[in-house]
Amino acid sequence: MVRVDSGRERLQHVFRRAGARAIAASSDLLALAHQDHVALVDPGGQELLRLDAGAGGVMDVALSPDGKWAAAGMLDGTARLWSARSGALVAVLVGHTERVSCVIFSSDSRTLLTGDWAGSALRWNLDDAERPAAVLAAEAEAAWRIRLEDALASGL
């Protein structure tokens, strides 16, 4: 650990991690954005979870204030949402037409805001993120009056 006195404030170099593009912090967790993954690490730099981001290319990363979620903005125009506790990919959020260059959670952790290179900002309600996929699928089928398998098979 290296301490640097910059005059009025004291800075602390905690660790070094090659390849990190962006960083986010919560009270007891850090998220480091890399090209193809997000590393969740403790404050000393010990990797706890590696979140696979595929080939999309990570641009930015955020951690929810309540510690439930990690999110990443991607070069392919999507945002990804993971459980910060289990590392499970919860959602790939599609809606931007350009690179998603910023992601941030609301103070109550119920909303994710994303911004892209075109200047668009999108707000994602995360209330459904913990609901089982089977429940969401059943609600969609009831609303659309078509089975999801049939809708997918027809190219909808």
Distance from C-alpha of 76 to C-alpha of 63, rounded to nearest angstrom: 20
In this prediction, the residues of the chain whose per-residue pLDDT falls under 70 are 1-16, 56, 156
Report the predicted TM-score, pTM, of the whole model to 2 decimal places: 0.80
Question: Which one-letter amino acid corresponds to residue 37?
Answer: H
pLDDT of residue 2: 42
pLDDT at 148 (0 to 100): 82
pLDDT of residue 20: 81
Q: Which domain holds residue 142?
A: 130-156
Q: Are residues 73 and 101 in the same domain?
A: yes
- Do 136 and 118 have their domain in common? no
Q: Are residues 30 and 95 in the same domain?
A: yes
Predicted confidence at residue 14, as pLDDT, reads: 61
